[in-house]
């Protein structure tokens, strides 16, 4: 049995980067995606680019901070201040969220030409910061049809796998994570026992050859609250990812922790 354990949002702010790094060094995190458009991105890239036991991908971020592109070239993606329009604002106009996690709108709020421009510029920024291509491509927060098309175009152009495609093509079983809804009120985050929830679903790994679990581990700081509604839950995700009980279960059941790089070789 193999488990691809992924933590999103590396570099959203310094606290998320430092927390995920702890989860890599002391826990079971083996894959994480870098945000490249945030004030903490350069700091975060320096922290992780030489870490060996992790696959570093990119999390394409279109909902927090400022674009890598000139805001004048992506007017539909930003507000009057030139900041990305937050997901909370976008979700108010969303019709539904499909089983594939795609957000359904009357009209896709992410025009393809603007979206693919920004996504490619974020990919180029990753290469500048890290010195190599990302190990995988991953969409952050809201995912629409145009975002999927833009990411797929970059996958084909740069020959980099897309996380969602890998899960489907390799038939990875996604461990359920029903305790992290959107929206996620902070009172509910405080009451959520992530470690207990993770321990309750981990036995499902034993029924599948390839598995994937995605979390949002991290430390927390005031800066985080500016950009994300996932705050306290990151501390709990990190505690679960470094939990002695979680690590013992994985070791006792001989579950191999894998990366996207490992799946490329198969």
Q: HSE (CB half, 13 Å, CA atoms) of 237?
A: 28
Hey, which bits of 76-197 come out as E strands?
96-97, 103-104, 137-139, 173-174
Assess whether pLDDT exceeds 70 at residue 203.
yes
Assess whether pLDDT exceeds 90 at residue 95.
no
Q: How many domains does the chain have?
A: 1
Instruction: Please measure the distance between the N-terminal and C-terminal CA atoms of the chain and give it in whole angstroms.
Output: 14
- pLDDT-based confidence at residue 94 (cuts at 50, 70, 90): low
136-170 pLDDT tens trace: 999 987 888 999 999 999 999 999 999 999 999 99
104-113 pLDDT tens trace: 667 888 999 9
φ, ψ dihedrals at 34, nearest 5°: -85, 135
CB atoms within 10 A of CB 229: 16
The C-alpha atoms of residue 124 and residue 241 are separated, in whole angstroms, by: 31
- pLDDT-based confidence at residue 97 (cuts at 50, 70, 90): low
Average pLDDT of 34-47?
98
Least Cα distance to 57 among 4, 118, 119, 6 occurs for: 6
Least Cα distance to 87 among 39, 140, 124, 45 occurs for: 140
Least Cα distance to 35 among 50, 48, 51 occurs for: 48
pTM for the structure as a whole: 0.93
CATH at residue 154: 3.20.20.370
Question: Maximum CA pair distance of the chain?
Answer: 55
pLDDT at 59: 98
Q: CB–CB of 51/67 below 8 Å?
A: no
Structure-token pair, residue 249 = 């279960």
Q: CB–CB of 211/2 below 8 Å?
A: yes
Containing domain of residue 195, as a range? 2-264
Assess whether pLDDT exceeds 60 at residue 230.
yes
Assess whether pLDDT exceeds 60 at residue 45.
yes
Assess whether pLDDT exceeds 50 at residue 99.
no
């Amino acid at each position: 049995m193999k488990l691809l354990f992924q933590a999103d949002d590396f570099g959203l702010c310094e606290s998320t980067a430092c927390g995920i790094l702890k989860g890599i060094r002391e826990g079971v995190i083996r894959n994480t995606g870098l945000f490249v458009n945030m004030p903490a991105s350069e700091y975060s890239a320096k922290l992780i680019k030489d870490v060996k036991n992790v696959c570093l991908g990119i999390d394409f971020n279109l909902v927090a901070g400022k674009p890598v592109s000139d805001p004048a070239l992506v007017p539909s993606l930003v507000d009057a201040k030139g900041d990305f329009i937050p997901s909370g604002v976008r979700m108010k106009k969303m019709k539904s969220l499909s089983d594939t996690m795609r957000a359904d709108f009357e009209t896709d709020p992410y025009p393809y030409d603007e979206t693919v421009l920004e996504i490619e510029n974020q990919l180029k920024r990753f290469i500048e910061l890290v010195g190599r291509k990302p190990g995988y491509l991953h969409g952050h927060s809201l995912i629409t049809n145009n975002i999927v098309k833009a990411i797929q175009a970059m996958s084909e152009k740069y020959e980099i796998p897309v996380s969602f495609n890998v899960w489907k093509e390799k038939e990875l079983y996604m461990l359920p994570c029903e305790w992290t809804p959107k929206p996620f009120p902070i009172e509910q985050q405080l009451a959520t026992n992530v470690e207990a929830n993770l321990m309750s679903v981990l036995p499902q790994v034993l029924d599948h050859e390839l598995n994937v679990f995605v979390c949002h581990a991290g430390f927390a700081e005031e800066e985080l609250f500016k950009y994300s509604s996932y705050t306290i839950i990151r501390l709990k995700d990190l505690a679960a990812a470094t939990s002695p009980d979680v690590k013992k279960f994985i070791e006792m059941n001989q579950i191999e922790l894998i990366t996207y790089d490992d799946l490329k070789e198969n």
